[in-house]
Amino acid sequence: MLSLLLALAAQTPPQEQVFDDWAVACDNVGRCEATALQAPEQLGTAPSQTLLTREADGTLSIAIDPADPVRGPVILLVDGKQVASGTVGENYRVSGAPAEALATAMAAGNWLELRSDARTLGRISLAGMAATLNYIKAEQRGGAAPLPVVPALRTARAAPESPTRAVLGELAKLGNCDLSLTAADLPVERYRLDAATTLVLIPCGSGAYNFNAAAFVLRSGKGAPAEFDVAPDWMEGDDPAILTNASFGTTEGGVLTSSSKGRGIGDCGTSQSWVWDGSRFRMIEARVLGECRGSVNWLTVFRARPEWR
């Protein structure tokens, strides 16, 4: 089942569904997320962030991060009528039965407002909310699917291997990367993956807010394109994989991430994360949001659990 899902993902990048001012996506295990988008008349103003999550077992939660941070009591109104209240630190969170009641009220209205006293902290369009909830319920009729598990190696403690200038030139040429045009703040990056393998990220073009790097592995001085079960942004062909705004963190044992922003403010884009299994990178998460309308909640479309060893 996992190989089938990955094969399909490699052919067709997952996308969210958009219903008026809401975007929604469900992942491979039956969990759904929906985010509010700015209505056309709100574009250019500071957006509030609203994320609705429905687990495969039906548990609903709603999170609202107002454009104007607040601490203390707040009320929520739909079309001017109070439907909920609470006390928050910096944001509003509700789950279970209260979230179900709030979602029902939202689906029947036009605008949701979050207020503190007479001050409006956030105003969220509810156009498309009812269609979003109906879509989620339809997608979850089949129930939950098991969370895929992928093998993952913890990073080795040894220092990363360094490619020679000649090898670096060969790899850059293979990735169509011109090292002579590399900015000083985009150095070649190296990370130890295991006792025999080093990840090498070679700068390969940049824009205003996206920085690309070609991914290679180095073993005993010899370099080759890094292999992925699902290539970054579902690229096709045999060319070396290109990562965007790449990062490699070892907090969880070694996670490689590519995150491509559609706009500098990060209100749309795609991201994928992988772990190293000893021979290739295995995807453990993918997020998408194609609509550039104020939301920074990129929606999860794929999840897997790494089994570290």
- What percent of the chain has pLDDT above 70? 93
According to the model, what pLDDT value does residue 7 have? 46
Indicate whether 279 pLDDT > 90.
Answer: yes
Indicate whether 126 pLDDT > 60.
Answer: yes
User: What is the arithmetic mean of pLDDT over 269-277?
Assistant: 96
Number of residues that make up the chain? 309
Question: How far from 37 is each of 43, 66, 105, 133, 228, CA to CA, in Å?
Answer: 10, 13, 18, 15, 33
pLDDT tens readout for residues 215-261: 999 999 999 999 999 988 866 677 899 999 999 998 878 999 999 99
pLDDT tens readout for residues 283-308: 999 999 999 999 999 999 999 999 99
Domains of the chain: 13-139 (2.60.40.1880), 149-308 (no CATH)
pLDDT tens readout for residues 74-118: 999 999 999 999 888 778 999 999 999 999 999 999 999 999 988
Residue 273 or 69, more confident: 273
Indicate whether 15 pLDDT > 90.
Answer: no
Indicate whether 151 pLDDT > 90.
Answer: yes
The H or E element spanning position 3 is helix 2-11
Among 304, 190, 300, which Cα is nearest to 248's? Answer: 190
| Strand order through the sheet with 92-95 | 17-19, 22-26, 32-36, 49-54, 60-65, 92-95
Indicate whether 2 pLDDT > 70.
Answer: no
Indicate whether 1 pLDDT > 50.
Answer: no
